[in-house]
Amino acid sequence: MAKSLSVIIPTLNEEDFLGHTLTCLKNQTVTPREVLVVDGGSTDKTKQVAQKYRAVTFFQCRAGTAYQRNYGAQKATGQRLLFLDADIHLEPDFIHRIMEYFDEHNLSTCCPWYLAYKSNLSTTLILGFFSCIFWTIQKILPSGAGPCILINKKLYLKLKGFNPEILHDDIHLIRRAGKIAPFSIAPVICYVSDRRFKKEGNWNVFTTYLKLGFLFLVGNYQGANRIRYDMSKDRYE
């Protein structure tokens, strides 16, 4: 099952978070074929952190998550691609459960529920709110986010990967994939970092996500490009 899985993680100055994510992958009950860390020019110790893990292959390419994700996909040898952010937490059975669900339901693209990792109640409720929306509308408007996307490589190649001209390339890919092949929200949890909420404030993040959600609803990705919250800069420039 997981032997056909390539995990791809884009990074940029993630020395404080990457080690935890890689440890979560190391502790999985089933082992993916490979873990590819694709760096966009870190100036901290991200490379050294990645190289501490024997099973990890480290690459460098131009900055921008779309470029980095696409580069990793080019190097990947698995039939399925699991794109992860560098600052997440996964329970030890995460890969087993999401791959099992993926296979049992004959999916081509899949996203989990996203919840906050060891955070306060308000942040947890905000992420839970958006995860509930993703689950509710999944059949009519496939939705998810960059912290975790599972996709068949054949479909990824058909879609020509992530579009670097789109700031929110993750949502864009999920929507395109869900229109032409089976998509579902899997009953598993990817715990995400709350650092954006701590930096920008819960209300600011919540209202920004609402604005983006409306623009995604009407397919206005160029309009969404103009909403550049602080931690989106490195994704695009």
Beta bridge partners of 106: none
What confidence tier does 46 reach under pLDDT thresholds 50, 70, 90? very high
Residue 203 has pLDDT above 90, yes or no: no
Q: Which two tokens stand for residue 35?
A: 């873990």
Give the pLDDT of residue 234: 43
Residue 233 has pLDDT above 70, yes or no: no
3-state helix, strand, coil in the chain (%, to 5): 45, 20, 35
Give the position of tokens 């819960």.
Answer: 202
Return the higher-pLDDT residue of 20 and 199.
Answer: 20
Ranking 69-73, 103-107, 120-124, 210-214 by mean pLDDT, the lowest is 210-214
Q: Which two tokens stand for residue 65?
A: 């998550």
Residue 232 has pLDDT above 80, yes or no: no
Strand pairing of 148-152 and 109-116? antiparallel
Residue 190 has pLDDT above 80, yes or no: yes
Residue 166 has pLDDT above 90, yes or no: no
C-alpha to C-alpha distance for 22 and 88, rounded to whole angstroms: 9
The region that residue 106 occupies, defined by phi over 0 for left and psi between -120 and 50 for alpha, beta otherwise, is left
Residue 218 has pLDDT above 90, yes or no: no
Residue 235 has pLDDT above 80, yes or no: no
Domain 2-195 classified CATH 3.90.550.10? yes
Ranking 99-113, 180-194, 207-221 by mean pLDDT, the lowest is 207-221
What confidence tier does 227 reach under pLDDT thresholds 50, 70, 90? low
Q: Which two tokens stand for residue 164?
A: 């670097």
Burial class (CB in 10 A: 0-12, 13-18, 19+), 104: exposed
Taking Cα atoms as reference points, which of 31, 75, 78 lies closest to residue 53? 31
Tell me the average pLDDT across 61-80. 96
C-alpha to C-alpha distance for 100 and 94, rounded to whole angstroms: 10
Give the pLDDT of residue 208: 79
Q: Which two tokens stand for residue 23?
A: 């440890």
Taking Cα atoms as reference points, which of 9, 25, 6, 10 lies closest to residue 76? 6
Q: Which two tokens stand for residue 182?
A: 């089976």
pLDDT digits (tens, 9 = 90+) for 121-147: 999 999 999 899 899 999 999 999 999
**How high does pLDDT run on average in the chain?**
90
C-alpha to C-alpha distance for 20 and 31, rounded to whole angstroms: 16
66 — phi, psi (to 5°)? -60, -45
Taking Cα atoms as reference points, which of 22, 215, 209, 35 lies closest to residue 125? 209
C-alpha to C-alpha distance for 196 and 230, rounded to whole angstroms: 8
DSSP 171-192: HHHHHHHHHHS-EEEEEEEEEE
Domain ranges of the chain: 2-195
Taking Cα atoms as reference points, which of 12, 7, 45 lies closest to residue 26? 7
Residue 169 · residue 145 · CB < 8 Å? no
Give the pLDDT of residue 206: 79
pLDDT digits (tens, 9 = 90+) for 79-120: 999 999 999 999 999 999 999 999 999 999 999 999 999 899
